[in-house]
Amino acid sequence: MAFSLLSGNEAVAWGAVAAGCRFFAGYPITPATTIFETMLELLPPLGGVCLQAEDEIASIGACLGASMAGLKVMTATSGPGLSLYSEHLSFAVGSEIPLVIVNVQRLGPSTGSATRGADGDVQFMRWGGSGGLPVIVLAPVDARDCFLLTWHAFNLAEEYRCPVFIASNKEIGLTRESVDLESLPRPPIIDRTPPPSGRPFLPFEVSPDRMTPYFLPIGGRVLVRQTSSTHGPDGYITTNHEEIARSQDRLEKKLTTAVSRFTFYEEYLEKKAETLILCYGVTARAAKDACRKLKAQGRPVSLLILKTLWPIPEDLIKEKTRGAKRVVVVEMNLGQMVGEIRRVLPDKQIDFLGQMDGRLIPPARIEAVVSRVRPAE
């Protein structure tokens, strides 16, 4: 085994390059900058491009252009930069442009605390573009996840032709730990599907057995039409309500009907447990420790760690909580996923532990909530 001492941000960069990323554009921002720095080391020797743009808007715009030309692309930022991504994110959704966005979350709102972590952008990533159409959001727990989920993010962006978020945060992104990259399972690399030969190419035409269009790059021998406005299969702007409705319905269903195919999670289910802790991100580390301590005290508690946040994996949540009478949702915010859990599990008792003050949630606070005692401050 060959262990590497990697931060989560470095692991993201290595995962991106392994998955075929050859273009990165970004703008320095704490705590995401080391992704940019690592890509600057990795891409040029491979013939790739690492660009520092003049701001975050230009960064994601450059990524969209490179993606339309056929490259696998990634950008990385934190909360203030994510705000500036909004319009180009909408463009990527509506025009089906593959893109991986790493959001190394920090305490907000606005500039917030640049050196303190939080998970305050969970709803923002889902609803940050106009139109309300879904995106994919994956949430790593550690550096190992950062490598693997970034690889999966590229595959999903290519397969479903959509933006995919990596919802990291400061604690994951800047913490170094040992990772044996050589032993990690590596999924097959997925690329965009070119059109079948022998027929005219329409950039947004979808065949009966597919939910995403075929792909040809802009700038090649075949004319490829692209627009950010509502469009028909030929790429021309349309105001036809039936054509628009078909397109919008497909853009939603291509992800929501397929979420079971990219539902990533960890589970630690105890047969006699009446309580299940549900969490994601770095908080899962404290939750694991709390569960171990509670089990040692003769009070077993189950644990479900979500690594796919959006589209929300409703079937998984219902299945894994079936035996629990009570679900405790733990988040490094004031309550973002807990509302969805209450919607998915209307017949369960849902308790919530939230914290958003720049500190990690310690295992003792989780134990206290599970045990129904007043959490220590």
Residue 43, pLDDT above cutoff 50: yes
**What confidence score (pLDDT) does residue 198 get?**
85
Structure token digits, residue 265: 């999670």
Q: Report pLDDT digits (tens) over 303-352.
A: 999 999 999 999 999 999 999 999 999 999 999 999 999 999 999 999 99
Residue of 60, 22, 314 lying closest to 165 (CA atoms): 60
**What confidence score (pLDDT) does residue 2 get?**
65
Structure token digits, residue 375: 């959490």
Residue 375, pLDDT above cutoff 70: no
Please state, in angstroms and rounded to a whole number, the distance separating the CA atoms of residues 360 and 331: 10
Mean pLDDT across the chain: 96
CB contact at 8 A, 3 and 144:
no
Q: What is the mean pLDDT of residues 31-46?
A: 98
Band the pLDDT of 372: cuts 50, 70, 90.
confident
- List the single range of 25-29, 180-184, 244-248 with lowest mean pLDDT: 180-184
Check residues 341 and 197 and name the one with the higher pLDDT: 341
- List the single range of 12-16, 209-213, 276-280 with lowest mean pLDDT: 209-213
Q: Dmax of the chain from CA atoms?
A: 69
Residue 173, pLDDT above cutoff 70: yes
Residue 190, pLDDT above cutoff 60: yes
Q: Report pLDDT digits (tens) over 87-141.
A: 999 999 999 999 999 999 999 999 999 999 999 999 999 999 999 999 999 999 9
**What confidence score (pLDDT) does residue 199 get?**
87
**What confidence score (pLDDT) does residue 308 get?**
98
Please state, in angstroms and rounded to a whole number, the distance separating the CA atoms of residues 18 and 72: 11
Site of tokens 């939910």: 211
Residue 377, pLDDT above cutoff 80: no
Please state, in angstroms and rounded to a whole number, the distance separating the CA atoms of residues 156 and 212: 12
Residue 374, pLDDT above cutoff 70: no
DSSP characters over 155-218:
HHHHHHTSEEEEEEEHHHHH-EEEE-GGGS--PPP--PPPPPSSS---TT---TT-SS-----T
Burial class from Cβ neighbours inside 10 Å (0-12, 13-18, 19+) for residue 180 reads: exposed
Residue 3, pLDDT above cutoff 80: no
CB contact at 8 A, 159 and 212:
yes
Burial class from Cβ neighbours inside 10 Å (0-12, 13-18, 19+) for residue 127 reads: middle
Q: Report pLDDT digits (tens) over 264-307.
A: 999 999 998 999 999 999 999 999 999 999 999 999 999 999 99
In eight-state DSSP terms, residue 271 is: T
Residue 218, pLDDT above cutoff 80: yes
Look up the pTM and report it. Answer: 0.96
| In 192-346, alpha helices (H) | 241-256, 283-296, 314-320, 338-344
- Report the DSSP beta bridge partners of residue 177: 6
